[in-house]
Amino acid sequence: MSAFLMFSAAELVEGFIKRYDTLPVRELWLVDIEEGREKLEIVGALAKRKVKKAGVPMEIKLSYDRREALPGADFVTTQMRVGRLPARVLDERIPLSHGMIGQETNGAGGMFKAFRTIPVIFDIVKDMEELCPDEWLINFTNPAVMVTEAIIRHTNFQRAIGLCKNAWGRRTGSDNGNPGDQPLCFCYGCVCQRGIPVSGAVGEICKPCGAGQNIQMLPAT
């Protein structure tokens, strides 16, 4: 199995090592842009040391050209910040100057980042359609929902999944007075654009979301 990580980090390599028995990645490409050369060399060296210490048959390769890495990939992950940290500063401070929270997943800051990121993701998708059309794209890049939905809706490439952090809190059905076999699942917050109602408990989700705890922007404090 071959994996391609676009602008990724060494901690993901540790996860591959721990799960090698069930996810045997034999070849792992770490790809960055030329401006990230120093960071990629540091991350790449750390990844190679981790693999060597673990003794797993995984080859770590570094590249600054994604087209070199894509052929033969079984899956591709993308995690990037188009515009780098100076752009992030603007994403956060411009909304704050108008009394809104500035962050990269939704709202004004999320839209700014989406406008920069989606064209780059589309370029990657275009290369995947040419070089590895049957493989999966796993996107970690924020705004994850907007980016992934843009791929699904506005390209012909449908083998795309968007991932973000896990829900931080959980409650079982019995905690809410429901039978144990009737769980209630809900998820909302500044990152999320979708609730997941179970057992028809739509109101449990809609009320906090409508109060401004989801995609609505809260006043800055």
Over residues 107-123, the pLDDT tens digits come to 899 999 999 999 999 99
Cis preceding-peptide flag for 143 (omega within 30 of 0) = yes
Count of C-beta atoms within a 10 Å radius of residue 103: 21
Average pLDDT, the chain: 79
**C-alpha to C-alpha distances, 179 to 88, 175, 187, 206, nearest whole angstrom:** 45, 9, 20, 22
pLDDT in the model for residue 173: 45
Count of C-beta atoms within a 10 Å radius of residue 197: 15
Residues 196 and 190: their CA atoms lie apart, in Å, by 15
pLDDT in the model for residue 172: 45
Show the domains of the chain with their CATH numbers. 2-162 (3.40.50.720), 173-213 (no CATH)
Residues 26 and 174: their CA atoms lie apart, in Å, by 44
Q: Which of 120, 128, 185, 118 is CA-nearest to residue 154?
A: 118
Count of C-beta atoms within a 10 Å radius of residue 91: 23
**Is it the case that residue 41 has pLDDT exceeding 50?**
yes
pLDDT in the model for residue 7: 54
Count of C-beta atoms within a 10 Å radius of residue 155: 15
Over residues 142-183, the pLDDT tens digits come to 998 889 999 999 999 999 988 876 554 544 444 445 454 554
**Is it the case that residue 219 has pLDDT exceeding 50?**
no
